[in-house]
Amino acid sequence: MRPDGRRPDQIRVPQITPGFIRYAEGSVLWRAGDSVVLCNASFDDKTAPFLRGSGEGWVTAEYAMLPRATDTRGDRRPSGRSQEIQRLIGRALRAAVRRDRMGERSIIVDCDVLQADGSTRTASVSGGWVALVLALARLHEQGVMPEWPLAAQVAAVAVGLVGGEARADLDYGEDFDCDVDLNLVYTAGGRLVEIQGTAEGRPFTRGELEAVLEVGWVGAQQVLAAQREVVAPRLDELGLSFPLDR
């Protein structure tokens, strides 16, 4: 039995507030339990320096925690942990677009954790995807990005092994007790975009990895559904189809 009564494969259903910030091309407040992440997608009229002349666009991410997002106050300097996480988010979101259709333009997705109660990096990927799509929709509507570049729906879920049991979307208390912690990024078609798992305390077997992937996919589907509820009406409005298959 989990502390808050959830089943092992049950996530904290995210409350998604689109348009939280009015300036950003795409903005979402993502709240899952007590984890609260503000995801803002901003447009930039240039692609990444190493892509100049290629005709391709770029998607990147920044991740940071407010100093008091956690139980004790941290400082504002970017940490190695932030660096690692924002690289993961960037890779995951790039998998959602066809960069050759973006033109030489960029989207930067800022994921700022206002409150952290576990699984903030997966919340950032999932919320970042919604912010990204809302931004692409606005830019497409405005004619700034004439080709529609969205290629995949992407959602992330954290799965931990606690006392041998695979559990989805750990909160901070469960995270503290778990031996193994995997972050899984899925497409709506059930493929993996990223898998990142660590077992500092106790290495895990192939069998345990299987169990984690089972629970992860069940959890991811719940996230995918929550995203779809917010994003689908907006795409409908623009006559764009929802990416389902990849």
Nearer to a second copy, 1 or 45 (CB): 45
**Position among 19, 55, 189, 233 found at the interface with a second copy (CB under 8 A):** 189
**Position among 3, 53, 80, 163 found at the interface with a second copy (CB under 8 A):** 80
Note whether 144 binds a second copy by CB under 8 A: no
Written as six digits, the tokens of 231 are 């994003």
In the region spanning residues 163 to 182, those forming contacts with a second copy, defined by CB under 8 A, are 182
Give the CA angle between residues 150, 156, 160 to the nearest 5°.
170
CB of 217 to a second copy, least distance (A): 9
**Position among 51, 209, 211, 230 found at the interface with a second copy (CB under 8 A):** 209
Nearer to a second copy, 72 or 239 (CB): 72
Written as six digits, the tokens of 40 are 């803002």
CA nearest to 111, candidates 181, 164, 167, 38 = 38
Total chain residues near a second copy (CB under 8 A): 60
Phi-psi region of 35 (alpha: psi -120 to 50; beta: other; left: phi over 0): beta
CA dihedral angle for residue 148, residue 27, residue 228, residue 4, rounded to 10 degrees: 150
**Position among 191, 225, 236, 237 found at the interface with a second copy (CB under 8 A):** 191
DSSP code for 58: E
Q: How far apart are the C-alpha atoms of 21 and 201, rounded to whole Å?
A: 40
Token match 């080709």: residue?
147
- Chain-centroid distance of CA 54 in Å reads 27
Nearer to a second copy, 106 or 236 (CB): 106
In the chain, what is the greatest distance between 2 CA atoms, to the nearest angstrom?
A: 56
In the region spanning residues 98 to 137, those forming contacts with a second copy, defined by CB under 8 A, are 108, 110, 112, 114-115
Note whether 215 binds a second copy by CB under 8 A: no
CB of 35 to a second copy, least distance (A): 11
8 Å CB contact between 125 and 133? no
Work out whether the CA dihedral 36, 119, 82, 90 comes out positive or negative.
negative
Nearer to a second copy, 27 or 120 (CB): 27
Note whether 94 binds a second copy by CB under 8 A: yes
Note whether 71 binds a second copy by CB under 8 A: yes
- Chain-centroid distance of CA 149 in Å reads 18
CB of 239 to a second copy, least distance (A): 26
- For residue 78, the one-letter residue type is P
List of residues contacting a second copy (CB under 8 A): 20-24, 27, 34, 38, 40, 42, 44, 62, 64, 66-71, 73, 76, 78, 80-81, 83-84, 86-87, 91, 94-95, 108, 110, 112, 114-115, 152, 182, 186-187, 189-201, 203-206, 209, 213, 246
